[in-house]
A and B are shown apart, each in its own frame.
Chain A
Amino acid sequence: MGFLEELRAYPEERVREWVDRSTEADVLRALERIEDREPRDFAALLSPAAVPHLEAMAQQAHRLTRWHFGRTIGLYAPIYISNICGADCTYCGYAVRSGNRERRRTLTDAELRVECEALASRGFQSVLLLTGEAPRAVSPAQIAHAVSIAYEHFPSVSVEVYALDQDEYAMLEEHGVDGVTLYMETYHPETYQRVHLKGKKKEYGYRLDALERAGRAGARRLGVGALLGLFDWRIDGFWTILHARYLQRVCWQSAVSMSFPRLLHVPERFHVPHLLTDKELVQLILAARLCLPEAGFYLSTRERAAFRDRLIPLGVTMMSAGSSTRPGGYAIYGEETLEQFEIEDDRSPEVVAEVIRRAGYDPVWKDFDRAFQGIQASVAE
C-alpha cells in the first residue's frame, strides 16, 4: 500500500508519452477543467504544447491563488541546526564527500537560542529547522529538543530533516512541530539510486512514504518537492503533483504544500543533468497551481531577487527572507561553518516585506498560534 502503488500506475514511459503527445487541444481542455483536473491534464499543462499558453495559465494561477489565499504572502526563515551529514548525495554541499570536517558542527542549545533570538528580533514567527542526514550526530530526540527551544521563540516550527519513523514524527509533534517538509529529491527510482550513494537515504521507499507517516502522526502541514534539475522536470513535476494529491486524500487533515527547489549552485564535482530555465520553472509553478489550487507554495532564497519578485503573483504563498544555510549563520558564524548552498536573494526580511507590500500583498509573519497545540513553551528536559 502507500503512494508507491499509485506511482506504479504512472510509470515514466506512460507519463513521458502523455507529455510528449499532448496537443494544443489537450492544453485548452486542461485549462477549462478548473475543478476536475485529472492526471492527463497535469501532463498537458506540463508539456511543451502548453508553452504558448503560459499567459492564460498565469492568469488562472493568479486567480486561483487569490481565491484560496487572498493577497497575502507568509514569511519564514530556515534555521540549520547542524551541517553534519552521513549521506553522500552527489549534488549537495553537505555530502560527506564535500569534506570540510573542521567546518561542520551541531549548534549547542545556547547557540540555537542565540540564532532564534536573532530571527525573532527580525520579526519572524515561523521557522523551519534543518539538519543533515545524520541520525548519529543529531538523533530524533535531539531534533525534538531543538524544536522545544525554537518553540520558546516562534509559534510555528516546522522541520526539514532526514526521514523518520511514525513514532518519531509523533514525538516531534508533541514538542511543537506543526509542519514537516521532505523533498523526495527525485521520484525517478533509477536517478534516485544514482545520486544517493550512502546511508539510509539510499532507501527510496522509506523516503517516499515519510510524509504519509508524518501525516499519520498528526502533522498539520506536509511539504512535498523534487530537487529540480536531477531529472526531467516535466515528469518529476507530474509525480510531485500526484504525490501532493495522494497526501491530500490520505492525510485529509494535513495541508499539503509544495516547494520548487531548483539546483543552481552545486559542488564543482556535479553537473546538473536537467538544468531548468526560468521559463521552465515558471511553467512548473503554474501547472502545479492549476492542479493544486489549495496548496501552499514555498519559494526560497535559492532564486534571485528580481525573479522572486516576479513570481509573487503567480501562485507563491510563502517566502523565506534573509536566509542563511549554515548553522549559526544569523548571529554566530560566518565562513567557518559550511553552508549547504549559496543563496541568491540576500535582501533583508524588511526589504522583502516591503517588496511584497508594493506588489499589492500583505506580508504575514504570524499564521499560527501556540494555543492550537496547548504545549507550554518551555525548555524540554
Chain B
Amino acid sequence: MNSESEQDRLVIAGRGFRSRLMVGTGKFPSAESLRAVLDGSDAEIVTVALRRADLANPEADSVLSVLDPSRHLILPNTSGARDADEAVRLARMARAAGCEPWVKLELTPEPKYLLPDPIETLKAAEALVKDGFVVLPYIQADPILAKRLEEVGTATVMPLAAPIGSNKGMRTREMVRIIIEQAQVPVVVDAGLGSPAHAAEAMEMGADAVLVNTALADAADHCAMGRAFALAVEAGRMGYRAGFGPKRETAEASSPLTGFLDSLG
C-alpha cells in the first residue's frame, strides 16, 4: 500500500507531494492548535495569508513559527487583495522576503462572502506566471475560467466547493465535475469543505487534492480532526482510483423492454 501511495503522488509544477490535503492557517485559536493539525494530518502544503504573516519576525508569528520548511511547503496566499495589482505586489513582496516563488492567488474584492473575482484573477495569474511564479488560483467553480487559467500557465486550478468558512460541502458539484473532466492541471477543491465526508466526496469525484481550513481550525480536537481529514482524503482517492461501478438512480427493471425483438421473425 505504501508503494502504491508512493506511486500516486500529487505532482504540482514538477514537484511531488505525498499528501493530498492542503491546510489553510487562518482562524486557528493558537499556534499549538495549528501544530496539532499539522501533526495529525501530515499535510505538506500549508498556505499562509501574507496579510497576516509577519515575514520580518517569523519567530514571533503564531503561524510562521509553527511551520518547518523541511516538512512543509509554505504557500503564501494573497487573501484580502482586491485587484490584480495588489495580488501581484503581495506575491513579489513574499518572494523578496525569501519565500519560494509559489503563490496561492486569492482575489476576493467582496469581503462578505469572499468570492473570487474571475477577471482580476486571470490578469494576476498571467502576470505572475510570466514573472516566474508557480500560481495556484482560487476560483469560482467555472469550467471555462479553469481552462483560461490553464492556458495562461497556472500550476493548478482551485475551484470552491461552497463559500469560504460555510462548511456546506460540495455545493458546486456539477461544475467541479466538468472542471475535473477537462483539466490538464491538478484540480484542488478549496473552500467550504466542512467535514471529512465532504473531503472524501471531492476526492472520489477525482479531485487531485483538497484544501481545508475552517473545519480544522474550529475542531475541538485539532490533532484528531487533522488525522480524520487526512484519512478521508486518502480513502476518497483510493476509491476513485479503484474505480466505481456506474451509479444507478433506480433499481434495474426486472422485465426487459426489448425482449420482444428476439421473438420477431
Asked if B29 and A372 make an inter-chain contact with CB atoms under 8 angstroms apart, the answer reads no
| Contact-residue bracket for chain A | 20 to 34
**Chain A residues in 8 Å Cβ range of B29:** 70-72, 360-362
- Whether a CB of chain B sits under 8 angstroms from the CB of A368 is yes
Give the interface SS of chain A, mostly helix, strand, loop or mixed.
Answer: loop
Interchain CB contact (< 8 A) of B62 among A70, A362, A367, A372: A362
- Bound-state CA distance A158–B210 (Å) is 36
Tally of A-B Cβ pairs under 8 angstroms: 83
- Whether a CB of chain B sits under 8 angstroms from the CB of A145 is no
Q: How would residues 358 to 379 of chain A score, 1 for a CB under 8 Å from any chain B CB and 0 otherwise?
A: 0011101111110111100000
Asked if B85 and A374 make an inter-chain contact with CB atoms under 8 angstroms apart, the answer reads yes
Q: How would residues 21 to 63 of chain B score, 1 for a CB under 8 Å from any chain A CB and 0 otherwise?
A: 0000011111100000000000000000011111000000010
Asked if B112 and A294 make an inter-chain contact with CB atoms under 8 angstroms apart, the answer reads yes
- Whether a CB of chain A sits under 8 angstroms from the CB of B109 is yes
Given contact pairs A294-B112, A366-B54, A368-B51, A68 touches B90 in the complex (Cβ within 8 A): no
Q: How would residues 187 to 229 of chain A score, 1 for a CB under 8 Å from any chain B CB and 0 otherwise?
A: 0000000000000000000000000000000001000000000
Q: How many of B's residues come within 8 Å of A, CB to CB?
A: 32
- Whether a CB of chain B sits under 8 angstroms from the CB of A66 is yes
- Bound-state CA distance A371–B81 (Å) is 10
A-facing residues in B94-129 (Cβ within 8 Å): 109-113
Who on chain B is nearest to A35 by CB? Answer: B166
**Chain B residues in 8 Å Cβ range of A357:** 30
**Chain B residues in 8 Å Cβ range of A67:** 165-167, 214, 218
Report B116 CB to chain A, min CB distance, Å: 13
Who on chain A is nearest to B56 by CB? Answer: A366
Given contact pairs A372-B80, A372-B86, A374-B85, A66 touches B30 in the complex (Cβ within 8 A): no
Asked if A371 and B93 make an inter-chain contact with CB atoms under 8 angstroms apart, the answer reads yes
- Bound-state CA distance A373–B86 (Å) is 7
10 closest A-B pairs by beta carbon, nearest first, are A70-B27, A255-B111, A71-B29, A371-B93, A371-B89, A371-B90, A294-B112, A253-B109, A67-B165, A372-B86
User: Chain A residues in contact with chain B, CB under 8 A?
Assistant: 66-72, 125, 220, 248, 252-255, 294, 357, 360-362, 364-369, 371-374
A-B contact pairs, 14 of them (CB 8 A): A70-B165, A70-B218, A71-B27, A125-B54, A220-B82, A252-B112, A253-B82, A361-B29, A362-B28, A362-B30, A362-B31, A362-B62, A366-B53, A367-B52
